[in-house]
Chains A and B, each alone.
Chain A
């Protein structure tokens, strides 16, 4: 019986976690608390033309590609 206790605790924890997943998520950063995040210096892509150019510079000289969130187009760049 004692050996079943950890199993019951684990199952109870999983059930509690699953039920918590059903409740609405409360945003822990309210919209009026996002002034820092809204500052242009926090933008992921403040200058799209410049960022696209640097992506291109690296893409034609290095094997790695993708994983940056940019779509981009094709280029032979022979």
Chain B
């Protein structure tokens, strides 16, 4: 019996020590992850892979590298509306960051580069975080600068199924630029033995070409049989947004965790959005199960319209469904299985994970324009409202060493 007590005491001491390590100024755990993801919704399929590795060195430094590759195929609603053909496109993203720990302060510098045939984005980010008040509080500040180059692609070659397999950049469109600056402030606070709270605020400003070269607005046009025509979108040249989010985690008495998140967002386009998420995590033997429910609602941009009354009716125009009013629900469930890897002693822990999310979005003022049929009594502006249903799968392996 004394031996059992000694073991329990030792375990608690180790757990407390581990707690001190993970909740004070320490570098993150060495990790390697490989993730395969699959998205299907609205006639669009996206398959992707992510590789991530994070490693400490020289006690005070940590380097992280991740690489994401996505292959997008199909034609989303905006592509179908403008009459463009289905396409296949690849995106590659590289993300590298370095952390330096000095006392209770952590400095981070990072670079992210995302490349698509029609979009190049590079960003640098810098952050500093400080532990204080007996390591109950962590304060962080982040600055990010991003430079984007935007192109428009034209199809040069189609395959037998009229899928575009070779694109060229549209010389008439040329290259447009968009610059972004982001300022972030974060606070993480231990509230009790079982509760922890994080608050994050971000101010983001964009300047340059903010619209999408492929999307167009529609207006009433009695000169054509369907009753509407398309005109180019015109966006303001700047956009500034504010977002404040909270994340509250609570440890339940029977070793489970509850997660409550809320975010409020507003921007100078006139969009206000609320995001709420409830999550639950339950370990059981070698498994860890988690489930989540997410609700999102946003108002429309001031200048958005599903159907403008006539050509050039406003100085700013957008028919982009992302700027419409809508609400969205997501249900997600995942399971992780912890498995030993024999004969590889430097790996402390390894898990195989699967996760499924169902995304359901219902637009309140974006209609399915292709269903206009005046002969059948469906006039412009009377089409059914558009809705998006998407299935998202993730399969990944995590190694901790």
Interaction A to B: yes
Q: Select which of A26, A32, A50, A75 is within 8 A of B13 by beta carbon.
A: A32
Do A71 and B355 contact each other (CB < 8 Å), given the known contacts A38-B19, A53-B48, A57-B39?
A: no
Contact, CB under 8 Å: B119 / A75: yes
Contact, CB under 8 Å: B241 / A66: yes
Contact, CB under 8 Å: A73 / B93: yes
Kindly state whether residue B136 has any CB partner on chain A within 8 Å. yes
Q: Select which of A27, A53, A62, A67 is within 8 A of B134 by beta carbon.
A: A27
Question: What separation, in Å, do the CA atoms of A61 and B247 have in the docked complex?
Answer: 22
Contact, CB under 8 Å: A38 / B23: yes
Contact, CB under 8 Å: A42 / B121: no
Q: Select which of A38, A67, A76 is within 8 A of B202 by beta carbon.
A: A67
Instruction: Report chain A residues within 8 Å CB of B114.
Output: 73-76
Instruction: Report chain B residues within 8 Å CB of A6.
Output: none
Instruction: Report chain A residues within 8 Å CB of B236.
Output: none
- Interface SS, B side: strand
Kindly state whether residue B214 has any CB partner on chain A within 8 Å. yes
List B residues 202-250 near A (Cβ within 8 Å). 202-204, 212-214, 241-245, 247, 249
Kindly state whether residue B265 has any CB partner on chain A within 8 Å. yes
Question: What separation, in Å, do the CA atoms of A67 and B184 have in the docked complex?
Answer: 8
Q: Separation in Å of the B170 CB from the closest CB of chain A?
A: 13
Question: What separation, in Å, do the CA atoms of A54 and B301 have in the docked complex?
Answer: 24
Do A54 and B357 contact each other (CB < 8 Å), given the known contacts A47-B33, A65-B243, A75-B121?
A: yes
Contact, CB under 8 Å: A34 / B241: no
Question: What separation, in Å, do the CA atoms of A68 and B186 have in the docked complex?
Answer: 9
Kindly state whether residue A10 has any CB partner on chain B within 8 Å. no
Do A50 and B35 contact each other (CB < 8 Å), given the known contacts A34-B19, A38-B18, A64-B273?
A: yes
Instruction: Report chain B residues within 8 Å CB of A50.
Output: 33, 35, 353, 355, 394, 396
Kindly state whether residue B278 has any CB partner on chain A within 8 Å. no
Do A73 and B112 contact each other (CB < 8 Å), given the known contacts A64-B296, A66-B204?
A: yes
Kindly state whether residue A9 has any CB partner on chain B within 8 Å. no
| Residue interface bits A25-65, CB-to-B below 8 A is 1, else 0 | 11111011111111101111001111011100110011111
| A binding-site residues for B, Cβ under 8 Å | 25-29, 31-39, 41-44, 47-50, 52-54, 57-58, 61-69, 71-78
| B binding-site residues for A, Cβ under 8 Å | 12-13, 15-16, 18-24, 31, 33-35, 37, 39, 48, 50, 52, 54, 66, 68, 91, 93, 95, 110, 112-114, 116, 118-119, 121-123, 125, 127, 133-136, 142, 144, 146, 148, 150, 180, 182, 184, 186, 188, 190, 192-194, 196, 198, 200-204, 212-214, 241-245, 247, 249, 251, 255-257, 263-265, 267, 269, 271, 273, 275, 281, 283, 288, 296, 298, 301, 322-323, 328, 353, 355, 357, 359, 361, 388, 392, 394, 396, 398
